[in-house]
Amino acid sequence: MLGRRVVVTGLGMVSPLGIGVENTWQALIQGKSGVARITKFDPTGFDTQIAAEVKGFVPENFIDKREIKRMDIFIQYAMAASIMATEDSQLKITPQNADRVGVVVGAGLGGLTTIESFHKILMEKGPGRISPFFIPALIVNEAPGQISMRFGAKGPNSSVVTACATGNHNIGDAWRMIQRGDADAIISGGVEATITPLAVGGFNAMKALSTRNHEPEKASRPFDKDRDGFVIAEGCGIIILEELTHALNRRAKIYSEIIGYGLNGDAYHITAPSPDGEGAARCMAMALRSAGIQPEEVDYINAHGTSTYYNDIYETMAIKTVFQEHAKKLAVSSTKSMTGHLLGGAGGVETIFTVLTIFQGVIPPTINYETPDPECDLDYVPNVARKTEVRIALSNSFGFGGTNAVLAFKKFEQ
């Protein structure tokens, strides 16, 4: 591991399990599902009629009413989670340190809600009724743009868009920026809000979504033999990354240390993972090398675990390839069993879950694990959370286009 040490000092979240980190975490370790029938539009006629929606979000609690209409809901989620994370961190951004604080936040699909609503306006009322805020409300980099304006953060500002690996890539890139001295602190994570007719219809056309409409809470079942697709979800996870000395000097609370980052490509298929999880295995190995640790030092993996046939099998195979005999001793769980799949927001929320697993000493379960799949034969922490010390953990995220990102975290030691 080269460069400056980087720690996590703040957490903020909007999720299908609750508004705020504590509400979400308590629901998670209790094994609650955030999946239900879609309410954002009438899903009648769709093969999939279920999703993991954010419930009870009041944007006025975080954003001025005049600004709300200028932001797609994904930007609203990102803003709210960033406010919670900075408050948790107690990071003060002033004119004196503004250029040393950055914002690196991405989304997979961006403002699809805004695109669909204004397309309808265009078709029904003509181009003269399109709002001047249409474009700024939907483009992905307006999430970090709006956050930076809210806090006056003038350091690195960017958005990585890599489908379901988006959150991890943004956090990993932010880590490297701080490592090499480009910033002292960065607000970073991933967000998504695309439970829309077009998104659900598109994923249905790919046969990617679960159609277990009669049992929504049991639809997301990673590594279970009876899984039938992922459950689309929405929300945001934001963390505050900070250079260690900077954090210590202001006596910040430290949740964990980020120690490694792997990123690569399968070069195989536009949606399917490479056979045997070859790309995922190389990415995990890269994260371990980056962290300067051996496979047997890892205690837990927050799996990508989407509840799709090939992903779950190939991720299992990838873990076996990298960890060999130690794979059987690893705890591996998929929190998507409860949150659904947040697409570009997955890495953000799952990073927070991984950090809290280390900080709290509790591994969240994989719920709905009822019928073991012979090809998925690791310890998936079935159905019940497990209290145990976790010193080192990985968070896996793999996206369409064969893009992979793995983050490594460690229990903080002075």
**Residues with catalytic function:** 164, 304, 341
> Of 22, 27, 152, which Cα lies nearest the Cα of 88?
22
**Which is it for strands 185-192 and 235-243: parallel, antiparallel or unpaired?**
antiparallel
Across 162-197, b (16+ Cβ under 10 Å) vs e yields bbbbbbbbbbbbbbebbbeeebbbbbbbbbbbbbbb
Encode 22-61: b = buried (16+ Cβ within 10 Å), e = exposed: eebbebbbebbbbbeebebeebeebbbbbbbbbeebebee
